[in-house]
Chains A and B, each alone.
Chain A
Amino acid sequence: MLVLTRRPGESIMVGDDVVITVLEVRGDVVRVGIAAPRSVQVHREEIYRELQAANREAASPSKAAVDSLSQLLRP
């Protein structure tokens, strides 16, 4: 991992068009601004990881489980 020291107001470039700026440091909280093209999605890591885990858990349920769910939902 690349480790850099930055002060509030200073930035880091990632590739050609992603700019990460340290906005404010207060105690153990750092506010960061990210400027990226719209095609680059930016997420908090823990939320993205949770979504990855949820999608993997949801993937390819057994046919039996789906059938029984379908039965239950039948009006």
Chain B
Amino acid sequence: MKSLGRISIPAILSFALGGAALLMAQPARSGKPEPAPEQTQKLTASAIQLERIVPPADLLIPEDTRISVYENVILQLIKTKKFQHVYRSGDRTAADAPDLVILHLIPEAFKPGSQKEREVITIAGATSIKVKVQLTSREGKALLEKDVEGKVRFYGENLRATYDLAKKVAGVVNRSF
């Protein structure tokens, strides 16, 4: 019994050490860059303006999806209650706002998916849309940049992905102000 104890203690120790070494080595093995440190200093602004969503020439996005993203983001920005005014693109009254930040949504990827596939096969047919969220000052100085993806995986119409995206964009804005 005594000899068994002598054998098992080094075995347990070596197992624990090996596990710890593996855990420490994991970030280096994955090769992924470490996420940018969380923004500690909050931004301040009394008004925000959402610019029109213009997809790059090589990315086809249905117009209803593009408009749905825009309108849903406007609704979600109002819901955050972080700003006195939420201006739309082209609004002339935004020129009078003293500390205005401008929100740009730059589409990066779009997968149309299919509601029928989603509901029949479950694991297929997801609709997803990925955008770069960019906050700039009126002068064009970049204040924040982040990638956000909206999805609808199981049940719901394709446009529900735009609602999911808008909620996430509003979440990014909410955490930044």
Pairing of A with B: no
Residue numbers of A with Cβ under 8 A of B are none
